[in-house]
């Protein structure tokens, strides 16, 4: 892979970072790149939910989170292994500890089933916000990412993010990164509220939202199903090959344009 020329009609670069932040985010640890969601964010919830609840229990936001989780637990009562969350009866510290532990057990149970309930996602979002703000978690990027995005911006390109992670989570990542607040580098963010990433219509909606043609967009992804969907919408596509990403078949390697670094993109003005 010796570089890839960006078509002259491209004015927008759309970056896919996934909920796992596969393409852009890394965590150093014995040379291993961790998947952002599965190896960092979700374990953080499991490891810290008890302390978080103990610390924030009296705050209104936390009370609302617990109330929503309790309501979800009532709806889940018929499911095998479901964990009920009793109301605090006011009978002292032991009763409070039991209630908090029930919330912890419920969260762990839901996460073990990879559930996406609104109640669970709301608590997770609040915990991640607190973790990023306190500096307990930071986004770390491959060395080529930030310099490349700065180069694209200087050349007049617009740069957007499209991730299955929520827009709020994206902004936390880029606003609290190891390189500081780099939100200013991005012209906007999209998540699956605009549509699923394996559906071509999602990319048409993104183009409409930006105010451009789909042919004006270059989409960088590591997921070939997403690449195929984008191509169906006449979006230009390049598949990013990073350590730790899913392997490609021989046919995929032949069919798709591949890059291993953002620095391999050659903009029209520099081609």
163 is in an annotated binding site: yes
158 is in an annotated binding site: no
Instruction: Give the span between the Cα atoms of 59 and 79, in whole angstroms.
Output: 30
Instruction: Give the span between the Cα atoms of 179 and 204, in whole angstroms.
Output: 32
80 is in an annotated binding site: no
222 is in an annotated binding site: yes
In terms of C-beta distances under 8 Å and separation of at least 24 residues, what long-range contacts does 259-264 make, across chains too? 259/1, 259/3, 259/4, 259/220, 260/1, 261/142, 261/144, 261/148, 262/142, 262/144, 262/145, 262/148, 262/149, 262/220, 263/144, 263/147, 263/148, 264/1, 264/2, 264/3, 264/4
Would you list which residues are annotated within the binding site? 16, 18, 163-164, 197, 222
Would you list which residues are annotated within the binding site for Mg(2+)? 16, 18, 222
Would you list which residues are annotated within the binding site for substrate? 163-164, 197
């Amino acid at each position: 892979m010796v570089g890839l020329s960006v078509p002259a009609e491209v004015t927008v670069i759309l970056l896919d970072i996934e909920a796992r932040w596969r393409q852009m985010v890394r965590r150093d640890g014995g040379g291993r790149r961790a998947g952002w969601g599965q190896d960092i964010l979700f374990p953080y919830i499991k490891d810290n939910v008890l302390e978080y609840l103990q610390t924030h229990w009296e705050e209104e936001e936390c009370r609302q989170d617990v109330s929503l989780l309790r309501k979800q637990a009532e709806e889940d009562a018929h499911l095998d292994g479901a964990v009920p969350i009793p109301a605090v009866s006011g009978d002292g510290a032991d009763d409070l500890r039991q209630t908090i532990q029930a919330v912890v057990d419920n969260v762990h149970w839901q996460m073990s089933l990879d559930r996406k309930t609104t109640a669970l996602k709301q608590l997770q979002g609040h915990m991640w916000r607190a973790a990023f703000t306190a500096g307990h978690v930071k986004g770390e990027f491959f060395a080529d990412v930030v310099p490349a995005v700065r180069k694209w911006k200087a050349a007049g390109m617009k740069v957007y993010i499209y991730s299955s992670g929520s827009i709020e989570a994206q902004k936390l990542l880029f606003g609290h990164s190891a390189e500081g607040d780099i939100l200013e580098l991005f012209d906007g963010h999209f998540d699956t509220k605009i549509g699923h990433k394996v559906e071509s219509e999602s990319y048409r909606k993104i183009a409409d939202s930006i105010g451009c043609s789909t042919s004006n967009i270059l989409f960088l992804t590591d997921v070939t199903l997403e690449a195929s969907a984008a191509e169906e919408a006449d979006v230009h596509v390049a598949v990013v090959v990073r350590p730790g990403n899913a392997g490609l078949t021989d046919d995929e390697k032949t069919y798709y344009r591949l890059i291993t670094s953002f620095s391999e993109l050659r903009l029209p003005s520099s081609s």
